[in-house]
Amino acid sequence: MWRITKTADFLCLKLMLIGEYTHTLDEKKRLSLPSKFRKELGRKIVITHGLDNSIFVYPEKEWAKVSEKLSALGVGQSDSRGFNRFMLGGAVEVSVDSIGRILIPDFLKEFAKLKNKVVLIGVHSRVEIWNQKTWTDYKKRIQNKADALAEKLGDIGAI
């Protein structure tokens, strides 16, 4: 899904990946991407360590933006170096096959504790891949504090 936004005097098309889908990892560690995500992601994607024990999936163009922002952090700060190593060191370029599947490397599968059932979440310009139980537990925690989070975001003018 693409969202049209207006910034200054320009109209911009922004990638908007949304939704939650449960899929199965096959015995060869291949994952079929939801058809709703395939067109937006394209044939070449980048997958890497995500936050909260998930895997982040980016279309090539979005990954270029992320890596550019990461490179702007510099090497002077220990936190910047560490986060760059975490994101960039774990990044893998992956091709989407003709029927919409991707191969998840073992080290990322182990990082996210992926089992047979996984959940794919569309989050703006990326997709997150979660272990099904980890996602269910996380979602319950967030749902229980959604009102408080909305209030905090409202206080800073985000919503």
For residue 78, the domain's CATH number is 3.40.1550.20
Task: Report if residue 31 sits inside a domain.
Answer: yes
Task: Report if residue 144 sits inside a domain.
Answer: no
pLDDT tens string 77-127: 788 888 888 988 999 999 999 999 999 999 999 999 999 999 999 999 999
| pLDDT at residue 9 greater than cutoff 70 | no
Looking at every residue in the chain, the average pLDDT score rounds to 87
Task: Report if residue 143 sits inside a domain.
Answer: no
Task: Report if residue 142 sits inside a domain.
Answer: no
Task: Report if residue 96 sits inside a domain.
Answer: yes
Task: Report if residue 10 sits inside a domain.
Answer: no
Task: Report if residue 57 sits inside a domain.
Answer: yes
Give the residues across from 23 on adjacent strands: 118
In the structure encoding, which two tokens stand for residue 19, read together?
Answer: 């939704």
Number of folded domains that form the chain: 1
As a whole number of Å, the CA-based R_g of the chain is 17
Instruction: Tell me whether residue 23 is exposed, middle or buried, using C-beta atoms within 10 angstroms of its C-beta: 0 to 12, 13 to 18, 19 or more.
Output: middle
Contact (CB, 8 A) for 102 and 45: yes
| pLDDT at residue 31 greater than cutoff 50 | yes
Arithmetic mean of pLDDT, 45-65: 95
pTM for this structure? 0.84
pLDDT tens string 40-54: 999 999 999 999 999
Of the CA atoms within 13 Å of residue 98, those in its CB half-sphere come to 0
pLDDT tens string 136-148: 999 999 888 888 8
User: Whole-angstrom Cα distance, residue 136 to residue 148?
Assistant: 20
Nearest Cα neighbor of 31 from 125, 138, 116, 136 is 116
Q: What pLDDT does residue 80 have? A: 81
Residue 157 falls in which region: left (phi positive, over 0), alpha (psi -120 to 50) or beta = left
